[in-house]
Amino acid sequence: MFGIRGGGGIGDLVHSLSTDYELAIVAHKGMCPIRGKRYGSVWQSGKVNLNTMFHPTEKPVDLVKRLMQSFSDDNNIILDSYLGGGTTAVAAKQLHRRYIGIEISQKYCDIAKQRLKQEVLI
């Protein structure tokens, strides 16, 4: 578990807690050596442009890709149990990972499906 800086804290627009990071939980079956550089427990990240967001709590694709590159290899399976707009699936596709996404909202399932139809430009 580690933090991602760049958020505005949690809460609503009137009452917000003072944290300026979000926690990310990475789970792996068995031993998982970190690939590449060790970034520490808090990572800096920009925000997704409000005009191009697919989901209100969307994370940047580059941030999710960095997570995947640090903790997985080609053809590994990535599970996102809160798929939202599909950012994790998009990152997995770009990095040649298999993915499973779970989402209860049909609206966001449709958005994720549409994003995955787009050609990957790497």
SS (H, E, C) 39-80: CCCEEECCCCCCCCCCCCCCCCHHHHHHHHHHHCCCCCEEEE
Closest CA to 97 of 75, 72, 64, 122: 75
Return the pLDDT at 45: 80
pLDDT band, very low/low/confident/very high, at 47 (cuts 50, 70, 90): confident
- pLDDT tens figures, 1-38: 445 555 555 555 566 656 667 777 888 888 888 888 88
The 3-state DSSP class for residue 91 equals helix
The answer to whether domain 2-47+55-117 has CATH 3.40.50.300 is no
Which pTM does this prediction carry? 0.77
Question: What share of the chain in percent tops pLDDT 70?
Answer: 80
Q: In the chain, where are the structural domains located?
A: 2-47+55-117
Residue identified by tokens 């792996």 is 28
Q: What is the pLDDT of residue 1?
A: 44
Q: Which of 51-60, 68-77, 112-121 has the highest mean pLDDT?
A: 68-77
